[in-house]
Structure 1
Amino acid sequence: MTNLSLTKHQIQSVKNFKDLITTPFVEEVNAMCWERNLIGNFSEIIEKVTLNGNIAELHPEELRALQLSEQGQLAREILLNDLQILKVHGASPILNIIKNYERDDASPFFPTDVYSFHVDRSPIPTDTFLCTYVGESSEILPNSQAIQKVLVPEIRVKLKKLYGGKEGEGFESFLSEFFFDLHYQAKLNAKPIPLGVGNLWKLAIDHPESKVLPCLHRAPKEKTGQSRLLLIC
C-alpha cells in the first residue's frame, strides 16, 4: 500500500471508482488514489502470454482466451472489469505487458523517455489513469521537489545550441514541439512516491482548463527478468 499520509497535500484517497472519476482536483491535489488489495494471480497472465519485443498490448479477447487457474481467472476478471469501467467513463485504457520501454539515447543531456519525470499534456480536458498489477510501480513527485528542465541554466544553454538560434518565441515553440518543456529534474533530497501495486490512480495533466498543476510522474526502472503488467490511459 502507498503511504498517503506523507503527501496528503498532493494526494487524495477515495473509496471507489465513482469517487475517483467524480472528485475534482483542487488546490494542491493533483493525484487521486483508489487504494485496493487485489486478489488473484496476475503474474500467471504474464506467464501465459508470449512477449515478442519489449512491450505487448493485451486485448480483452486475448485475455478471455487464456487458459488460467482459479487464481488466474480472478485476476482476469479484475482486469476486464477495470478496462470496462474506464471505457464506460469515456477513456481508452490500454493493458500492457512491459519488459522495458525504449530509452532516448539521442540526447544524453536531455532524455525525453518515460523514465524521466514528466507531465502529460492534452488540448482537451482529461486525466491520466494508471494501475500497476505486477512489477515495479510508477512514481510521482511533488511539484515543489522538482524544476522544469528547460529552466535549469546549463541545460537551457545546451538547448539553445541545439535550437541554433536566439532565445525568443521561436525557441519556446521549439521546446514545446519536441516535448522538452514536459520534463522535470528532481531537486536535491527529492522523495519520489511509488504508486504501489493494485491501486488505481488518476493524475492531473496539463490542459487549457486545468485548475491545478499537472502531476509529475515517471516509469520505474524494471527489475531484470521481471515484466510489468500496467493499465494506462
Structure 2
Amino acid sequence: MMNLYHTKNQIQCVSNFQDLVSTPFHGEVNAICWTRKLTGDFSEIVKKIELNENIAALDPKELIELQLSEQGQLARDIILSDLKILKAHGASPTLNLIKCYDRDDSYPFFPTDVYSFHVDKSPIPTDTFLCTYHGDTSEILPNSQATQKVLVPKIRAELKKLYGASVDGFESFLTEYFFDLHYQAAPNAEPISLGLGHLCKLAIDHPESQVAPCLHRAPKEKAGQYRLLLIC
C-alpha cells in the first residue's frame, strides 16, 4: 500500500483548514489532505461509548458528556473543532463509530457496498470530507489503476442478464441501482491509505467537476476494532 506522503500526482497536501477548502482540484489531483499529527487519546472515546449496532452516529452532546482523562479531552476537543469548522463551511459532518458496514450480497458478482472502490455522485457541486481518528483508515486509488465495473465484459454480460429486458433502458438501470459508481482495481493496483488524523477532501462526480472523481473504499475492519470516522 502506498504512503500518503509519497503520492504527488493524485494527492495534494496542505497545512491548514483554509487551504483545504480553498485549494481547487486540478489535473490528476482529486484528493486534497490537511495532514496532521493529532494529540490525544481517541481510543478512550471509542471505549467509553457502548455500541449496540454496527454503526452509530455520535451527537456532539454525547461527546461532551463523556468523563475523560486529560488525553481523552484533547482528542474530544479536536473532534468538536473539526465538526465546528466544517459546519461553518456549510458542510453537514457526521461522526460515526463503526463496528462494520452492512455487506451487499444482493448480486454476488457485483457487491455495491462501501468496501468496493466507488465514487460519490451529486447533482450539485460539492465535495466529500472525511477523517479517521481511530481504527483502520479509508483508502483511495489512482483512476488509472481501475476500470468502471460496468465496462468489464464479463460483469456487463451478467448485468444484462439481470436486467433481462431490451437494450432500451439498460444504462438507466445501471445508474438507478448505483452499478455505474463502482470500479474494479487492476491486478497491480496500489491503494493509498489516507492515514489517521488527516482531514481530506475528495472530488466527487457532479456536473461542474473539472477532474475525475476520487475512487475510495472503506477498509475491512479487524474483529473487535472499531473505527471512529468523521464524514460529510
**Residues 3 and 193 in structure 2, CA contact (< 8 A), matched pair in contact too:** no
The answer to whether structure 1 residue 148 and structure 2 residue 143 are counterparts is no
- Cα 1:5–1:48 shift into 2, 3 Å: closer
The normalised TM-score by structure 1 is 0.97
CA distance in 2, matches of 1:80, 1:7: 29
Partner of 2:221: 222
The two structures, once aligned, show a CA RMSD in angstroms of: 0.9
Structure-to-structure mapping, 1:143-182, within 5 angstroms: 143-168=143-168, 170-182=169-181
**Residues 4 and 193 in structure 2, CA contact (< 8 A), matched pair in contact too:** no
Structure-to-structure mapping, 1:91-130, within 5 angstroms: 91-130=91-130
**Residues 146 and 186 in structure 2, CA contact (< 8 A), matched pair in contact too:** yes
CA distance in 2, matches of 1:107, 1:4: 33
CA distance in 1, matches of 2:132, 2:5: 21
Q: Aligned-pair distance for 1:188?
A: 1.2
- Measured against aligned partners, the alpha-carbon deviations of 1:25-48 in whole angstroms (never above 9, x if no partner) come to 011110001110000000100111
- 2:195 is matched by which residue type in structure 1? G
The answer to whether structure 1 residue 70 and structure 2 residue 70 are counterparts is yes
Partner of 1:197: 196
CA distance in 2, matches of 1:79, 1:188: 37
- 1:82 is matched by which residue type in structure 2? D
The answer to whether structure 1 residue 138 and structure 2 residue 116 are counterparts is no
Match of 1:129, SS? Answer: strand
- 1:210 is matched by which residue type in structure 2? S
Count of residue pairs brought into register by the alignment: 231
Q: Which runs of 4+ in 1 moved over 4 A?
A: none
Q: Aligned-pair distance for 1:69?
A: 0.5
- 1:185 is matched by which residue type in structure 2? Q
- 2:226 is matched by which residue type in structure 1? S
The answer to whether structure 1 residue 232 and structure 2 residue 231 are counterparts is yes
Q: Aligned-pair distance for 1:5?
A: 4.8
Q: Aligned-pair distance for 1:4?
A: 3.6
